[in-house]
Chain A
Amino acid sequence: MNDSTTPLAIEAYGLVKRYGPKAALDGVDLDVARGSVCALLGPNGAGKTTAVRVLTTLTEPDAGTARVAGHDIATDPLEVRRSIGLAAQDATVDGLLTGHENLAMIGELHHMGRKRALTRADELLAQFSLTDARDKLAKDYSGGMRRRLDLAATLVATPELLFLDEPTTGLDPRARNDLWDVLESLVDEGVTILLTTQYLEEADRLADDIVVVDHGHVIARGDARSLKRQAGGDHLHVICARREDVEAVAAIVGRFASGRPSTDDRAVTAPAEGGVQAIAQLAQALAEEDIELEDLGLRQPTLDDAFLTLTGAPAESFDDEEVAA
């Protein structure tokens, strides 16, 4: 049964999953300690969902092995599924069932007996403040309520290991905070969580370990601090007063930077090794060009910078999401 001698909840070696000529996973290794939270962080198409699908036995890898909760995904998928809860990227609650029916059905399919399944459903509805919506069809729930129901559904059989694929995507900031609180209390109870996210803030807040994936490869791993360190040292940060100046400023910043400057609206950022010296020179050069500035400074790297440096593409941030929505 449960092999509790190994301290690892997930151990995966060389996972490969190909779709046509393209590898969604291209040799991924993963260790997740029991009782810890691991965040798979990566941009769209990085392979996060594919990794979750392989580890939860929804799809078979083309190569590589993995043990999940002590069970081999290839030879013992049923035991794996008995030990885990999965909240897929698109909330998969059943819209034509009520909240209570959704949870009770999952309890029954875990063979906990109909009676126990019914009471367990009520317990979870209470835990996730959904008691009022108990008998409403899930399709009439709000997005946040559906997400909570989805998470409740993963907890029906009190699994030791949770897979949450982008659990907070599409939630407003408050609902997101509420969900984070719930996840933190689960962790306090000893549950292991593997979550995927495109949000550094989320990874930073919840995860002990962050695994950055891109194009099916793990490109970095560690805690938030060590990832920031990998982003290099200080950054020059300039905000132009006028949008038209951004290109010109980027070119000037490039002369004093130790890496390629990146721009975002009116902001220009670039890694700098010269420290205070670099900023003085930059200020002078900008003054000579007579460009009006709003802000000029030297910044410690943020996780966003780390992400940028590691993947070569800007991370999607909450702000972008909200503007787009």
Chain B
Amino acid sequence: MSSAQAFATDTWVIARRGIKHIRRQPEALSDATIQPIIFVLLFSYVFGGAISVPGGGSYKEFLMGGIFAQTIVFGCFGVAMALAYDRTNGAIDRFHSLPIARSTFLSGHSVANLIRSIIPIVFMTATGLAIGWRVHSSFLDALAGYGLMFVFSFAVIWIGVMLASLVSTPEAVQGIAFVVIFPITFIASTFVPTSTLPGVLKTIAEWNPTSALANSLRHQFGNPGGAIPHDAIFPLAHPFAYTLIWAVAIVLVCAPLSVVLYQRSIKS
């Protein structure tokens, strides 16, 4: 077997294990299932009446793009938690004592989590349709929207791997979730249009890739808030391109860096 072939087979064996873990631990999936559904229901019914969308339209439909984006950014925790668990319970030693390339452990987890990221997208779509969200654009536009979600899901996995190399316990991963990633998805156009935010927060929100992802999805699905202002700053005028640039940059920076950091963190 060539080493590339071996890498691919081993990655898939480890990915299959990760998928079994996901299937057999449905409670660990709550961030990808229950949580976004609660957000959709909570925000659309509690704040729905109080927030007006520029250009008019239903807040529920506006909200969907935001929650899609938020859930995808949260996707980085799936892989970070899985790695942290494997590290605390010693599973990693078992893999590292086998004659496989060490990087297959990371690639296997990444593939499993990429497949995992389909779950919230499907759940969200079903919930959205149930509460009255609709796609008003062409099939191809919508398809591009889903494609963008998938690409961004792949990118954030590498943020997750980097996280798992900086901290090593599941508790610490959760801590970072609340202190860092949660605010990032809130200071964005997730729940409210960025134009309604004050001063500095508005600027942060406009450049936040979470906003760009949410805005792109609104645009791709023909939802309220999806109109593109052509004379605005780059992230607002070209949300799709801006999101893609972020995705590529995250992968280019985080993937190699997290592999190095991760290998170093397990050396001792």
Chain A residues with a Cβ under 8 A of chain B: 19, 53, 56-60, 78-79, 81-82, 84-86, 88, 90, 92-97, 101, 105-106, 108-111, 137, 153
**CB distance A97 to B17 under 8 Å?**
yes
**CB distance A92 to B90 under 8 Å?**
yes
Given contacts A58-B93, A109-B98, 8 further A-B contacts (CB under 8 A): A58-B96, A81-B97, A86-B97, A94-B94, A106-B98, A108-B9, A109-B13, A109-B95
Which residues of chain B are within 8 angstroms of A59 by Cβ–Cβ distance?
267-268
Q: In the complex, which residue of chain A has the Cβ closest to the Cβ of B1?
A: A111
B136 at the A interface (CB under 8 A): no
Give Cα distance in the complex from A101 to B23, angstroms: 14
The B contact surface, by secondary structure, is helix
Interface residue tally on B, bucketed by range: 20 to 34
Give B132 Cβ to nearest chain A Cβ, in Å. 38
Number of A-B pairs whose CB atoms are under 8 Å? 68
Which residue in B20, B25, B99 is a CB contact (below 8 Å) of A81?
A: B99
Which residue in B6, B14, B16 is a CB contact (below 8 Å) of A111?
A: B6
Give Cα distance in the complex from A33 to B14, angstroms: 35
Which residues of chain A are within 8 angstroms of B230 by Cβ–Cβ distance?
none
Contacts A105-B13, A105-B17, A111-B1 hold; do A96 and B99 have CB atoms under 8 A apart? no
Give Cα distance in the complex from A187 to B267, angstroms: 32
10 A-B pairs with least C-beta separation: A86-B97, A82-B99, A92-B90, A92-B94, A81-B99, A108-B13, A88-B93, A109-B98, A90-B90, A96-B21
**CB distance B97 to A57 under 8 Å?**
yes
Q: In the complex, which residue of chain B has the Cβ closest to the Cβ of A153?
A: B94
A interface footprint on B60-103 (CB within 8 Å = 1, 0 otherwise): 00000000000000000000000000000111011111111000
**CB distance B20 to A60 under 8 Å?**
no
**CB distance B98 to A88 under 8 Å?**
no
B31 at the A interface (CB under 8 A): no
Q: In the complex, which residue of chain A has the Cβ closest to the Cβ of B94?
A: A92
B141 at the A interface (CB under 8 A): no
Give Cα distance in the complex from A56 to B94, angstroms: 11
Which residues of chain A are within 8 angstroms of B13 by Cβ–Cβ distance?
105, 108-109
**CB distance A96 to B94 under 8 Å?**
no
Q: In the complex, which residue of chain A has the Cβ closest to the Cβ of B98?
A: A109
**CB distance A109 to B10 under 8 Å?**
yes
Give Cα distance in the complex from A59 to B102, angstroms: 13
Which residues of chain B are within 8 angstroms of A111 by Cβ–Cβ distance?
1, 6, 9, 99
Which residues of chain B are within 8 angstroms of A57 by Cβ–Cβ distance?
96-97
**CB distance A60 to B97 under 8 Å?**
no
Which residues of chain A are within 8 angstroms of B93 by Cβ–Cβ distance?
53, 58, 86, 88, 92
Identify the interface centre among A92, A96, A109: most chain B CB within 10 Å of its CB.
A109
**CB distance A94 to B17 under 8 Å?**
yes
Which residues of chain A are within 8 angstroms of B98 by Cβ–Cβ distance?
81, 106, 109-110
Give Cα distance in the complex from A79 to B90, angstroms: 22
Identify the interface centre among B10, B13, B89, B98: most chain A CB within 10 Å of its CB.
B98
Give A197 Cβ to nearest chain B Cβ, in Å. 19
Q: In the complex, which residue of chain A has the Cβ closest to the Cβ of B90?
A: A92
Which residue in B6, B24, B91 is a CB contact (below 8 Å) of A92?
A: B91
**CB distance B9 to A84 under 8 Å?**
no
**CB distance B20 to A96 under 8 Å?**
yes
14 A-B pairs within 8 Å (CB atoms) are namely A53-B93, A58-B96, A79-B99, A85-B97, A88-B94, A92-B91, A95-B89, A101-B17, A105-B16, A109-B10, A109-B14, A109-B100, A111-B1, A137-B24
Give Cα distance in the complex from A84 to B94, angstroms: 12
Which residues of chain B are within 8 angstroms of A53 by Cβ–Cβ distance?
93
Which residues of chain A are within 8 angstroms of B100 by Cβ–Cβ distance?
109
Give Cα distance in the complex from A79 to B100, angstroms: 10
Which residues of chain B are within 8 angstroms of A93 by Cβ–Cβ distance?
94
**CB distance A110 to B90 under 8 Å?**
no
Contacts A81-B98, A86-B93, A153-B94 hold; do A96 and B25 have CB atoms under 8 A apart? yes
Which residues of chain B are within 8 angstroms of A153 by Cβ–Cβ distance?
94
Give Cα distance in the complex from A90 to B97, angstroms: 14
Give Cα distance in the complex from A85 to B17, angstroms: 20
**CB distance A92 to B17 under 8 Å?**
no
Give Cα distance in the complex from A137 to B25, angstroms: 12
Give A154 Cβ to nearest chain B Cβ, in Å. 9
Which residues of chain A are within 8 angstroms of B20 by Cβ–Cβ distance?
96-97, 101
**CB distance B10 to A56 under 8 Å?**
no
**CB distance B21 to A110 under 8 Å?**
no
Give B141 Cβ to nearest chain A Cβ, in Å. 40
**CB distance A60 to B267 under 8 Å?**
yes
